[in-house]
Structure 1
């Protein structure tokens, strides 16, 4: 197989991965392999099959300009291409592992922690929502996301059939797929009565004919289409600004802030980490521990 054909073939082979990986993962794979291919072209090197020395040089060069986590992800992309094309895999050699260790030591970095949208913030954010269809949707999204400890991708992926009303006025919600549950086994979560009422208000406006639980609104009409997960981050940050918080504080919030803040509130209320892990569907204690680091400092900034 000629080099030109190999350089085109990996894109074709990547289509085999669609459906097995999340769309965001696929976008990262394409981006990372294209970065490697472009770098090799600039250096006059062959990307596929790559030599051990080429991979090492690429990783160490990338380590000077991007985060170690990005370097590691790009290594996985290179590995995936070689396996899909049935080429000798240079990425498992010990020299490559040593290069990756050099990158981590060169730029040690602590993961950035999103500011938690704790209940105090939630109350303020709910208060500033407008009295219109967008406000109905935004209130339901904020309250439900907090109660369910959702990631932003999980929140926008909810479907109408995932919601069950309970006799006590709360909701039972099936979260079908998450970052750590790609096979879609799902987890069951529950909400407050307030979230149930806010969602009922939204659905009364939206109607029951739309599949996504939350959808775009165009000229005052609900559109039968999913929101992108970026909408969640914008909603939280804009709510913080409308509530009068400094822009620097608003920008510290992210689409993960509902999940972080709810977990911090649960810890402050006396719940143990095992219960919090079950509530939020965490698989790693290390990740949860990072979320809970600032729980004792949940006061107004």
Structure 2
């Protein structure tokens, strides 16, 4: 009971300090670990390093993605520290289990399929004209222009949009994964995106509050923001209507597609990092690795020789 009390106290202190997706990830990982421990007859809290290592091995055997396994280890460590126990993730058995996982599964993550300019053209031709369709296209185009994460797009409020001459506009991203202090960053929106945004806001009768909201089958617009998980379902639905494979589409697809489009148009990694609010070049370089390979030393060597 003392452990539960400490975790409840931590939850109260952490409220508002952690991003909603971080809180959800902690809850989900904790439930998964405790459920697994119960099936194995092991004590979940406190978690011994041997138990945590066995959990890593079990997740690897199930074919879980390396990133998911590392997130599970992070969540276990976070909760145990909150309860006043040592972090088992720092113990040698867990470190070795993670190395086993990396050797057996590799560390390369499967990349979301991009929604680039070509895919967007197909989507615009097939999206439909209903209220949900207008919202879905406006959301997709806004996500691409802002290289927005799911949490960023659903948090967008009307007062954070501003029109400019010539039909373009800007959006203030108040908080992002790399800006937890909410200093905020302003990004540009194309005239086409702004046209679709105006269509959606007018059709939905939105004059304040969240920009992107649920729409019922009866075309009733909700008063609250979309849930983050709904974003990937919207993008998958748009892709399916356009004849694209929806299985590889995720909430990152618009971000991946725009990053690739920027690199294809000649932008360097520093510019792409700035546009997408990345602190490291690792992910944008990964997204555009095939395009960047065509600019590499070997490609240049052969290019000079015709």
Question: TM-score category by the smaller chain?
Answer: 0.7 to 0.9
Gaps of 5+ in 2: 294-306
State how far apart, in whole Å, the 2-side matches of 1:100 and 1:161 are. Answer: 45
1:269: which partner in 2? 265
Which aligned pairs between 1:217-296 and structure 2 lie closer than 5 A? 217-218=215-216, 219-245=218-244, 249-295=245-291
Gaps of 5+ in 1: none
2:155: which partner in 1? 157
What per-residue deviation string (whole Å, max 9, x for no partner) do you get for residues 116-171 of structure 1? 11111112211222223223222221222221111222212110011011123211
Following superposition, the deviation at residue 211 of structure 1 comes to: 0.5
Which aligned pairs between 1:142-153 and structure 2 lie closer than 5 A? 142-153=140-151
130-139 vs 5-14, greater mean Cα deviation? 5-14
2:73: which partner in 1? 75
- SS at structure 2 position matched to 1:278: helix
State how far apart, in whole Å, the 2-side matches of 1:99 and 1:88 are. Answer: 18
State how far apart, in whole Å, the 1-side matches of 2:243 and 2:95 are. Answer: 48
Q: Does residue 1:23 correspond to 2:20, yes or no?
A: yes
Question: CA, structure 1 residues 213+285, in 2 after alignment: closer, same or farther (shift >3 Å)?
Answer: same
State how far apart, in whole Å, the 2-side matches of 1:11 and 1:130 are. Answer: 48
Following superposition, the deviation at residue 208 of structure 1 comes to: 4.1
Question: CA, structure 1 residues 154+44, in 2 after alignment: closer, same or farther (shift >3 Å)?
Answer: same
- Residues matched between the structures, number: 290
1:211: which partner in 2? 209
- 8 Å CA contact 2:273–2:279 kept in 1: the answer is yes
Following superposition, the deviation at residue 296 of structure 1 comes to: 7.5
Following superposition, the deviation at residue 220 of structure 1 comes to: 2.8
Q: Does residue 1:102 correspond to 2:100, yes or no?
A: yes
2:35 aligns with one of 26, 38, 42: 38
Question: CA, structure 1 residues 272+90, in 2 after alignment: closer, same or farther (shift >3 Å)?
Answer: closer
State the Cα RMSD in Å.
Answer: 2.3
What per-residue deviation string (whole Å, max 9, x for no partner) do you get for residues 212-262 of structure 1? 0111223333221111233332222222222234xxx23222221111111
TM norm structure 2: 0.85
Question: CA, structure 1 residues 242+87, in 2 after alignment: closer, same or farther (shift >3 Å)?
Answer: closer
253-262 vs 98-107, greater mean Cα deviation? 98-107
Following superposition, the deviation at residue 11 of structure 1 comes to: 4.5
Question: CA, structure 1 residues 227+49, in 2 after alignment: closer, same or farther (shift >3 Å)?
Answer: closer
2:47: which partner in 1? 50
1:119: which partner in 2? 117
Question: CA, structure 1 residues 295+117, in 2 after alignment: closer, same or farther (shift >3 Å)?
Answer: farther
State how far apart, in whole Å, the 1-side matches of 2:35 and 2:206 are. Answer: 49
217-226 vs 154-163, greater mean Cα deviation? 217-226
- SS at structure 2 position matched to 1:221: coil
Question: CA, structure 1 residues 97+265, in 2 after alignment: closer, same or farther (shift >3 Å)?
Answer: same
State how far apart, in whole Å, the 2-side matches of 1:128 and 1:275 are. Answer: 32
What per-residue deviation string (whole Å, max 9, x for no partner) do you get for residues 67-88 of structure 1? 3322222222222222222234
State how far apart, in whole Å, the 2-side matches of 1:165 and 1:209 are. Answer: 15
- 8 Å CA contact 1:116–1:260 kept in 2: the answer is yes
State how far apart, in whole Å, the 2-side matches of 1:283 and 1:204 are. Answer: 36
